């Protein structure tokens, strides 16, 4: 960080009403975790081995090579950092800084390949594969998506036929659409993959199962017989990642390479089914929880860039002769950015809750208790879809809030957006996930009729729906909670009623769900939105040791988040008579009235996330605020500036410009 801080930015920090360090400690789960993060960042930032041109000025191939170079160096140096890398979160922090916030070629190795081995492998398989993976003697990826199928897992076409004579599985890609397509690090990096395929044994198909498949030789890295593997080509982003394709042609693997923690194939080909068929998809539930975390990180980074730059940028004198105001001082700019700032905090707290829920249910599953797996699937599906959609559209709002400079790669938004936007489609396309969440909600409404007790995240469905009982104090947490609860209840019951009506008319459940899908999506969004709002309020109620100044600021954020959500979805609150038109007008005015109170702490609130400049990758969002001199410096890195006269001048421009030279 530069010693000289932009005076406008420093003035913002000096005006904060709370202790930034206190909030940073809270956001990073304690002083110890925050200190580790800072040390890891400093080590990477000061290490000359990680210096290179900005990725924006590198070709696709150069980006990939640089990603591999950095990742291999990181692995070699990780062993020296045992005191700082104590858990998976520390590893994410380390790798994030090594890759400058961009997805690297080893991300799926640590994020999906190893977790799948641990969660779905038998003790013997874990003992065999885990040490090799952790020591990077093999590098793995997760090959699920195919050219013709992604979200619909039961439709995957890759086959694994068991041969009892050799005790091997024979893997094939029987159609063009069955070719594995999109897995990260599959193209050129990985030596192994967890491949999801339809299991056939003794002439019967048993559905999707996971297999460990070696792709490349451990001697020379050449692809093995029966393996056709490569890079799928340029994408919207992810330039440093070799997303790949995999075509299997009678490729044989040992019987022991099918992950057999839950389901098993005996040497004679007999099959033992898992206690629950959906356990094979456990890795996806984990990744969806990680996407909720990623959604929080992405919108927090976008808000950090936009709010800092809005404090530095001055634009348009309001009256002739007066100084140009900071862009952040305009209420319209605040009204664009502060809802996203509040969403960043709401999403931070909900991603913590999501990961806690995943850990709790995983512990139960390990004890043989599968009672909460459906709830977890619905929760992760709904939250993944809801948070990623908000963050995805929010990043574009942040970019346009930075004016013309937001279009430059120097802003950091092109990389941030293109690296995040796949989140709305991978690991389950959002609309499909909302429908899966809604299907669970419909099931819960039916279970209630038989007297069933619903688990925590859906327990509110057993409540009555009485709009007249809701108060009119819209700054009261209980009032806002009731409004969101009643909105969700109303939309869920309406959608469920539509499904029931279709079935009463003779339609089967599948057809009824499809016919009511538009209503079901709205219901799932309302449910997920309510969960985020309620969790925000509940989290703040548990912060007993937090100082009063900080609590006041966080309370403002939670109120604004809830009020703005009502204003943005006012039609759904009006439909069931939860609010009147005058109520909505009052709520809109309340959000406007709150803007100045959030304004005074806006820069301090984004500072508290503690995104280093190397991770933000943004000249506009620099911590020191010295935007303009560094924007000019950044541009000098362009390869076009290596020479004063570009070679294209002599090839093309000179003949054009001088074709009529004699006439001059």
By annotation, the residues acting in catalysis are: 427
Phi and psi torsions of 404, nearest 5°: -60, -35
Strands 168-172, 180-181: pairing kind: unpaired
Contact predicate 389/331, CB 8 Å: no
| Nearest CA-CA partner of 338 in 385, 394, 417, 387 | 394
Taking alpha carbons only, the member of 279, 336, 280 closest to residue 307 is: 336
Place of tokens 């020296």: 80
Which residues 6+ apart lie within 8 Å of 202 measured at CB? Answer: 162, 164, 269, 270, 271
* Cα Rg of the chain, angstroms: 27
Which of 8, 40, 11 shows the shortest CA–CA distance to 614?
A: 40
Question: CB within 8 A of 336, min separation 6: which ones?
Answer: 397, 401
Collapse the DSSP code of 215 into the 3-class scheme (helix H, G, I; strand E, B; otherwise coil) and give the result: coil
Q: From residue 190, give the alpha-carbon distance in Å to each of 101, 221, 227, 410, 555.
A: 21, 9, 13, 32, 47
Among 354, 237, 345, 344, residue whose Cα is nearest residue 288: 354
Compute the distance between CA of residue 374 and CA of residue 377 in angstroms, rounded to an integer.
Answer: 5
Angle, helix 413-420 to helix 282-312, in steps of 10 degrees:
160
Bridge partners for 194 per DSSP: 142, 212
Q: Rounded to whole angstroms, how far apart are CA atoms 185 and 528? A: 32
Q: Which residues pair with 198 in a beta bridge?
A: 159, 208
Among residues 528, 237, 569, 530, which one has the least CA distance to residue 385?
Answer: 528
* C-alpha distances out from residue 15 to 142, 588, 598, 605, Å: 48, 27, 12, 12
Give the contacts of 312 (CB within 8 A, at least 6 positions apart).
6, 8, 9, 326, 620, 625, 627
Cβ atoms 237, 423 nearer than 8 A:
no
């Amino acid at each position: 960080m530069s010693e000289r801080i932009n005076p406008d930015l420093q003035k913002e920090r000096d005006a904060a009403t709370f202790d930034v360090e206190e909030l940073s400690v809270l956001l990073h789960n304690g002083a110890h975790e925050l200190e580790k993060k800072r040390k890891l960042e400093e080590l990477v930032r000061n290490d000359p081995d990680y210096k290179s041109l900005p990725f924006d000025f590198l070709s696709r191939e150069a980006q990939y090579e640089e990603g591999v170079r950095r990742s291999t160096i990181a692995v070699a140096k990780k062993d020296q950092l045992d005191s700082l890398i104590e858990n998976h979160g520390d590893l994410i922090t380390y790798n994030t800084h090594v890759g400058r916030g961009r997805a690297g070629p080893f991300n799926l190795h640590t994020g999906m390949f190893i977790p799948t081995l641990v969660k779905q492998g038998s003790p013997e398989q874990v003992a065999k594969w885990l040490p090799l993976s952790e020591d990077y003697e093999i590098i793995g990826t997760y090959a699920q998506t195919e050219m013709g199928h992604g979200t619909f897992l039961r439709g995957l076409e890759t086959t694994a036929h068991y041969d009892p004579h050799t005790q091997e599985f024979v893997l094939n890609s029987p159609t063009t659409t069955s070719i594995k397509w999109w897995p990260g690090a599959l193209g050129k990096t990985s030596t192994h993959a967890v491949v999801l395929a339809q299991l056939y044994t003794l002439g019967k198909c048993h559905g999707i199962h996971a297999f460990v498949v070696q792709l490349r030789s451990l001697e020379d890295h050449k692809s093995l017989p029966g393996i056709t593997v490569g890079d799928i080509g340029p994408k919207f982003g992810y330039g440093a990642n070799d997303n790949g394709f995999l075509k299997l042609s009678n490729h044989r693997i040992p019987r022991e390479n099918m992950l057999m923690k839950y389901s098993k194939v005996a040497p004679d080909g007999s099959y033992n089914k898992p206690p629950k068929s959906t356990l094979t998809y456990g890795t996806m539930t984990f990744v969806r929880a990680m996407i909720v975390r990623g959604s929080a990180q992405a919108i927090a980074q976008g808000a950090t860039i936009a709010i800092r730059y809005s404090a530095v940028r001055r634009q348009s004198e309001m009256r002739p002769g007066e100084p140009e105001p900071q862009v952040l001082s305009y209420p319209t700019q605040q009204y664009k950015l502060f809802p996203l700032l509040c969403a960043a905090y709401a999403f931070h707290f909900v991603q913590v809750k999501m990961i806690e829920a995943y850990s709790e249910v995983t512990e139960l599953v390990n004890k043989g208790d599968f009672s909460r797996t459906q709830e977890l699937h619905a929760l992760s599906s709904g939250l993944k879809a809801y948070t990623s959609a908000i963050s995805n559209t929010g990043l574009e709002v942040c970019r346009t809030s930075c004016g013309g400079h937001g279009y430059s790669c120097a802003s950091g938004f092109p990389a941030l957006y293109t690296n995040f936007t796949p989140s709305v489609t991978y690991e389950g396309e959002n609309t499909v996930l909302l429908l899966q969440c809604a299907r669970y909600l419909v099931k819960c409404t039916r279970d209630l009729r038989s007297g069933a007790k619903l688990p925590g995240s859906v327990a509110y469905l057993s409540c009555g729906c009485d709009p007249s009982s809701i108060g009119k104090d819209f700054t009261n947490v209980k009032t806002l909670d009731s409004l969101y609860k009643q909105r969700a209840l109303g939309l869920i019951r309406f959608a469920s009623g539509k499904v029931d009506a279709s079935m009463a008319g003779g339609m089967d459940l599948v057809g009824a769900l499809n016919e009511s899908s538009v209503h079901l999506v709205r219901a799932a969004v309302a449910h997920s939105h309510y969960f985020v709002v309620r969790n925000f309020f509940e989290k703040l109620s548990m912060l007993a040791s937090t100082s009063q100044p900080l609590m006041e600021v966080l309370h403002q954020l939670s109120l604004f988040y809830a009020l703005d959500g009502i204003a943005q979805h006012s039609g759904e609150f009006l439909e069931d008579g939860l609010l009147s038109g005058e109520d909505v007008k009052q709520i809109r005015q309340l959000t406007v009235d709150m803007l100045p109170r959030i304004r005074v702490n806006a820069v301090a609130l984004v500072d508290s996330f503690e995104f280093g400049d190397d991770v933000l990758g943004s000249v506009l969002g620099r911590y020191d605020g010295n935007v303009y001199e560094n924007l000019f410096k950044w541009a000098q890195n362009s390869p076009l500036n290596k020479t004063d006269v570009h070679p294209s001048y002599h090839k093309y421009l000179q003949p054009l410009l001088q074709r009529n030279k004699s006439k001059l």
